[in-house]
């Protein structure tokens, strides 16, 4: 039986300019998916993220800045069942929540 899932992913290892001088080092992304199991939901969420144009741009920008993208990692932060109420009355999240490493200034 297929279920709706909410998957929170943590992407780290980036180097993306923000405000002209500081660099974003990573971000969190929440993705909704329909899957048979939580494991399947994670695979689908990661594949959907990798297919997004904005994500590919961030990888390209990191490659240009660091000369490589091998340090970029996508890790699972959480996965949970998504209630039908939330899926009906809430907009599907598709943004990124960036963070900067303040210790590297």
Give the tens place of pLDDT for each residue, 15-57.
888 776 688 899 999 999 999 999 999 999 999 999 999 999 9
pLDDT at 17: 81
pLDDT at 104: 47
pLDDT at 105: 41
pLDDT at 91: 72
Q: Where are the domains of the chain?
A: 3-104
pLDDT at 20: 67
Give CA–CA dist 29/41, Å, rounded.
14
């Amino acid at each position: 039986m297929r279920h709706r899932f909410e998957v929170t992913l943590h992407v780290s290892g980036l180097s993306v300019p923000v405000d002209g001088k500081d660099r974003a080092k990573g971000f969190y992304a929440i993705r909704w998916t329909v899957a048979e199991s939580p494991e399947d939901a994670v695979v689908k969420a990661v594949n959907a993220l990798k297919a997004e144009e904005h994500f590919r741009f961030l990888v390209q920008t990191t490659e240009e800045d660091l000369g490589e993208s091998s340090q970029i990692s996508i890790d699972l932060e959480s996965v949970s069942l998504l209630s039908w109420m939330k899926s009906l009355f809430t907009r599907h999240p598709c943004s990124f929540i960036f963070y900067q490493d303040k210790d590297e200034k």
